[in-house]
C-alpha cells in the first residue's frame, strides 16, 4: 500500500476579542490565530509540529496584523476614559471656588452629557461630587493624555473653560485648575494659554 505523508501549515484560533482595526479605522472583532506546521498523512494534518508564529486577524475585513496591534486602545476604551476624565474635571472645577450652586450643577451635567454623549443627570453628578477626589484629577488625566490627540485635548480644555465660566465668572482658582488640566494632558503652556484665551473671549 502506498502511504502518502508530508507537512503542511495550518492555523487555528487561540483567542478573540475587540480591537481597533487600523485598516478600517474602527472597533472590530478579531481572532488571535496560531499557525503550526503539521505532519500529514494522506493529506490530513495528524501531528502538530513546530509553531510558525501567531497573528491577529480582523473578522470584518480579514486583514492580518502583528499581535502588538492589540496594544492600541479601542475607540470604546478611549470613550470610557474620556467620560471618566470629563466627570472628574466637572467635579474639580465646580468645587474649585469653594461652593456649588444650581447653575454650576446644571452646566456640569450638560457639559458631561454633551462631551461624552452619555446619559448623565444631576443625581449622577451628586454621586461624582461625593466619590471623585479633585486631588486625583491629575493622575486620571495623565492616562488620558497618552491616548488623546491634540484635537481631543483641546476639546477637554474647552469643556473645562465652559465649566469654569458656569457660575458667571472665571476666577483665578478656576484658571489654575484649567492650567493644571492642560499640563496633566501634556499640552504646552502656550497651547493651554491659547485655548483659555479663545474660550474667555467667547464667554
Ligand atoms: Zn478590519
User: Would the pLDDT of 8 be above 80?
Assistant: yes
Whole-angstrom Cα distance, residue 140 to residue 128?
14
12 CA distance to ligand 1 middle (Å) = 19
Name the phi and psi angles at 166, rounded to 5: -65, -25
- Residue in the block written with cell 500529514: 40
Could you read off the pLDDT of 24-34 as tens digits, one per residue? 999 999 999 99
pTM of the model: 0.72
Query: What's the gap in Å between 27 CA and the centre of ligand 1?
Result: 8
- Which of these, 98, 92, 103, 78, lies nearest to 159 by C-alpha position? 92
Q: How confident is the model at residue 88 (pLDDT cuts 50, 70, 90)?
A: very high
CA 61 to ligand 1 centroid distance, Å: 4
Cell numbers found for residue 178: 484649567
**What is the predicted pLDDT for the residue at 203?**
60
75-202: CATH class: mainly alpha
Structural domain spans, the chain = 5-71, 75-202
In angstroms, the CA 50 to CA 58 distance is 24
Q: What mean pLDDT do residues 107-135 have?
A: 92
8 CA from centroid of ligand 1 (Å):
27
Is residue 145 scored above 80 in pLDDT?
Answer: no
Amino acid at each position: 500500500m502506498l502511504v502518502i505523508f508530508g507537512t503542511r501549515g495550518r492555523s487555528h484560533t487561540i483567542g478573540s476579542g475587540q480591537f481597533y482595526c487600523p485598516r478600517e479605522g474602527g472597533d472590530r472583532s478579531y481572532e488571535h490565530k496560531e499557525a503550526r506546521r503539521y505532519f500529514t498523512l494522506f493529506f490530513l494534518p495528524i501531528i502538530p509540529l513546530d509553531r510558525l508564529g501567531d497573528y491577529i486577524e480582523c473578522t470584518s475585513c480579514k486583514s492580518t496584523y502583528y499581535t502588538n496591534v492589540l496594544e492600541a486602545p479601542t475607540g470604546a476604551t478611549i470613550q470610557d476614559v474620556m467620560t471618566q476624565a470629563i466627570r472628574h474635571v466637572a467635579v474639580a472645577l465646580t468645587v474649585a471656588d469653594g461652593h456649588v450652586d444650581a447653575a454650576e450643577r446644571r452646566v456640569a451635567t450638560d457639559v458631561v452629557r454633551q462631551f461624552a454623549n452619555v446619559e448623565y443627570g444631576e443625581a449622577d453628578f451628586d454621586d461624582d461630587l461625593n466619590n471623585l477626589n479633585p486631588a486625583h484629577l491629575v493622575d486620571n488625566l495623565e492616562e488620558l493624555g497618552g491616548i488623546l490627540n491634540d484635537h481631543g485635548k483641546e476639546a477637554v480644555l474647552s469643556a473645562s473653560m465652559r465649566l469654569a465660566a458656569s457660575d458667571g465668572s472665571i476666577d483665578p482658582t478656576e484658571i489654575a485648575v484649567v492650567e493644571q488640566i492642560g499640563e496633566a494632558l501634556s499640552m504646552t503652556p502656550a497651547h493651554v494659554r491659547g485655548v483659555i484665551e479663545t474660550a474667555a473671549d467667547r464667554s
